[in-house]
Amino acid sequence: MAELTVGQKVNLTIGSQATVLKELGRGGQGIVYLVDLGGTKMALKWYHTPPEDAFYKNLEHNVNAGAPSDAFIWPEYVTVKENGSYGYIMKLRPEGYYEFGNYLLALKNFKSLDAMLAAAMKICEGFRMLHLKGYSYQDLNDGNFFIRPSDGDVLICDNDNVMPQGQKSGIMGKARYMAPEIVAGGVPDKYSDRFSLSVILFMLFFANHPFEGAKVVSCPCMTEAFEKRFYGSEAVFIYDKDDPSNRPVRGIHQNVIKRWPLFPSILKNTFIEQFSKEKLQKPNERLIEQEWEKIINRVRDELVICPNCHEETFVDMDASNYNCINCGKSIDTSKRLKYGLRELILTPQTKLFIDKDNTPDAEVGFFPTDKNLLILKNLTTGTWNVDTPKGKVKVVKPGEFMPILNGLKIAFGTSLPNDPNAKGEIEA
């Protein structure tokens, strides 16, 4: 087993040297060290035993290609092969981010539903960019994600197994996150990544594995053979619409039992469909990342501030359920911003996310001198052009606001990467 010592210098292929400062942690594949590289503190992952040459070449390729998005803590430099192994250098994980597993155990909690949705969006966007660049992640699991509870920002780590589509890293993925076809012996690809993504999203929202219900509880001892059945050939979604055999169990699966009723139908129905027995068998019909982003946008459109208790709540448009999940009072959903097929509910203090990044684009408030008149504040960096029903055009600059009045049409301008012809329309 190759280990490094404090003070030891490691040569990088670009010619510079990194100095080992201390060990940060170790796992099955290798040890992570804090290193100094030209005055900057970085992390070095050093493999216990050097993986084969193809792995090294792939690592070099990924370093040269660069990170797919800022969500990835990506390999930045590769070391030369020396001291019986090799490794790669990446940025240090900043303070304030916690492993996803902490959220599943409720050791960490999102500050808000808003932050939770932001995390979901960031994960989808990271995987969209990864697949767009022709990679597959292959080893997606709860240990790869670090999330900031305050705003849901996500960092995706352990990117050394990322491979071009169709190539095999030799990593099969972690049990419980592998797609059924991989459990059965297939090669991981973007389709199996998409399965893993659905699992991660489900766990993010409900803090329970989608296949872990009564069946798993009744299993005397989780052997490899059982694992292959429960997560592979006989996988049953805990809320399968036709098969109730694997429902969550009271006293054991409390998170999902508590949370499932609180989320909007659009989200629950998407999971029911994605984890249906039919879809589990058809990898190429799984929801692609852009579709997931649209779903999360729709869920975000239904996240409002309750005018009664001033807490976050969902209004379930598809189920016509407008009762606050906290105080139970009915919420007035008559004021809306229609945008394409979306309907964003306008209640005071609610932030609107028009595009799919995690920066709010508008916020509902009160007119300064008239608390009966609601306004929409422009939080974007661009100017909005607002058409009135009488044909007048008003300009709403960044930081300014417009009244929420029936029939006003808003062109959000170029600061939002949307269809330039798409306009929002107020219904009030």
Interface ranges with Zn ion (CB under 5 A): 306, 308-309, 324, 326-327
Residues 6+ apart with CB under 8 A from 225: none
Residue (19 or 326) nearer to Zn ion, CB: 326
Closest CB 205 distance from Zn ion, rounded Å: 20
| Nearer residue to Zn ion within complex by CB, 25 or 328 | 328
* Strand ranges in 68-200 using DSSP code E only, listed in sequence order: 77-78, 87-90, 98-99, 135-136, 145-147, 154-156, 163-164
Pull the structure tokens for residue 145.
């994600």
Q: How many whole angstroms separate alpha carbon 67 and alpha carbon 133? A: 10
> CB of 299: closest distance to Zn ion in angstroms?
18
Helix (H, G, I), strand (E, B) or coil at 384: strand
Phi, psi of 105 (to 5 degrees): -95, 5
For Zn ion, which is the closer residue by CB, 98 or 366? 366
Question: Whole-number minimum distance, CB 350 to Zn ion, in Å?
Answer: 13
Of 358, 370, 357, give the one whose Cα is nearest residue 404: 370
Cβ-contact 77, 14 below 8 angstroms: yes
Nearest distance from C-beta of residue 379 to Zn ion, angstroms: 24
**Spatial contact of 90 and 147, defined as CB atoms under 8 Å apart:** no
Measured between alpha carbons, how far is 51 from 191 in angstroms, rounded to an integer? 25
The nearest distance, CB 309 to Zn ion, in angstroms, is 3
Is the separation of the CB atoms in 296 and 339 below 8 Å?
Answer: no
Is the CB of 82 or the CB of 332 nearer to Zn ion? 332
Taking the mean position of all CA atoms in its chain, how far away is CA 251?
28
CB within 8 A of 112, min separation 6: which ones? 312
The CB-of-295 to Zn ion minimum distance in angstroms stands at 24
Q: Which is nearer to Zn ion, 11 or 308 (CB)?
A: 308
Return the structure tokens found at 312.
């976050």
Q: Which is nearer to Zn ion, 265 or 326 (CB)?
A: 326
Distance CA 416, CA 20 (A): 44
Nearer Cβ to Zn ion, position 266 or 325?
325
Shortest separation between residue 377's beta carbon and Zn ion, angstroms: 22
Contact between 143 and 99 under an 8 Å Cβ cutoff? The reply is yes
Q: Residue 18 or residue 364: which is nearer to Zn ion going by CB?
A: 364
Neighbours of 248 (CB within 10 A): 21
Shortest CB 313 distance to Zn ion, Å: 6
